[in-house]
Amino acid sequence: MKFLIVVLLGAVLAEGLVRVPLTKHKSMREALREKGVEMPYQDPAMKYVADEFAGSGSEYINNYADSTYYGAISIGTPPQSFQVLFDTGSSNLWVDSALCNTQACSVHTKFYPQQSSTYSHNGKTVYIPYGAGSLYGVFGYDTVSVAGIVVPHQEIGLSTSEPTQPFASAKFDGILGLAYPRISSGGETPVFDNMMSDHLLQADVFAFYLSRGGAQGSELTLGGVDNRRYQGSIYWTPVTSESYWQIGIQAFQINGRSTGVCSQGCQSIVDTGTSTLTAPGQYIGEIMQSIGAQRSQNGQYMVDCSSVNNLPTLSFVISGVALPLPPSAYIDQNYQNGRQYCSVNIGPTYLPSQNGQPLWIFGDVFLRQYYSAYDRTNNRVGFAVAA
């Protein structure tokens, strides 16, 4: 059971960057498993289905629900504080509000618009779908502060109805999306876009460092990159669709050898809001066979814990650079009732990318191994070995 708790405020660095600290808690799946409840597998790519089918700064962020990273923001005047999930796989900002009376809202901090002198209501309603749930809300405007960067007149979603699962079990009070405006539900302008248009950033770049092995120190950096958080060079690759942070994959390798997977190219969405590494469904059997994993009764792929050090290294060739993922990155080792078990933290998705190529999702399994940077000026994503 791994815990990471960071209790720090966003700090301004000498080079003008502000850090947002993150915290790692026991995963939602692990907590429920201890109680004898097994969460059914849900395709993370369902969050990408279109609606019709369903200054600079750094901030420390907390981690919950299979490595869900969240941190503090404030809304309103005087400021009301909330913990939000920082999600590169969505674009809306919303928080629990006093307009919502469902169980999921009642267990979280709510925004009270009548207590803010800078709040204004615009009368629009919104439906926001995610892979594991959706919510209804209304739009309003207010001042939003993230790691000391103040965005006036930011459009925000105030929830009016949320399902119990997954939101009641989450540690966060809302979600702050960091993807492109194109996928914003209801046409809401994302927070980062307003930071750019108001010239509040040193550079139109943000970056994530996600700690591993229960270590402290995960952070979101706004306005640039933090060179203390990675080793060597950042390798950049262009965004292939300005909607999600979607990039191309040239090849997939196992122990350095190319496979038939992605022989004609694949796509990947880089998503801090997804906990796993997700592979195209048509290849999942082949990949698990190469790893030597067996599927259990609950649908999880398991390996013998004594063989973990001998499992293959998986590599992704991106813009000519091979990025390896060792077994220590994609195997979860946990204990239940005094017994150790080892599961493969790779799941399937059965949705194609927007250009029809097989789709991967680089979730937190991948992003703990690699520092990731998101450049809106040049529409590119960068990866470097995490420090």
Task: Provide the CA 63 distance to its chain's centre, in angstroms.
Answer: 10
Query: Exposed, middle or buried: residue 289 (CB in 10 Å: 0-12, 13-18, 19+)?
Result: exposed
Verify whether residue 43 is a known catalytic residue: no
Q: Which of 132, 161, 169, 156 is nearest to 37 (CA)?
A: 169
The two three-digit tokens of residue 256, written as one number: 């350095």
From CA 346, how far away is CA 170, in angstroms rounded? 22
The H or E element spanning position 158 is strand 149-161
Residue 272, SS3 per DSSP: coil
Identified catalytic residue from 43, 66, 87, 375: 87
Backbone angles phi, psi at 196, to 5 degrees: -70, -50
- For residue 271, indicate whether it is catalytic: yes
Distance CA 254, CA 311 (A): 10
Active-site hit among 66, 142, 271, 364: 271
Q: Which residues contact 248 (CB under 8 A, 6 or more apart)?
A: 237, 238, 240, 265, 266, 267, 268, 318, 319
Peptide bond into 78 cis (omega under 30): yes
Helix (H) or strand (E) holding 361: strand 359-362
Give the residue numbers annotated as catalytic, written as ranges: 87, 271
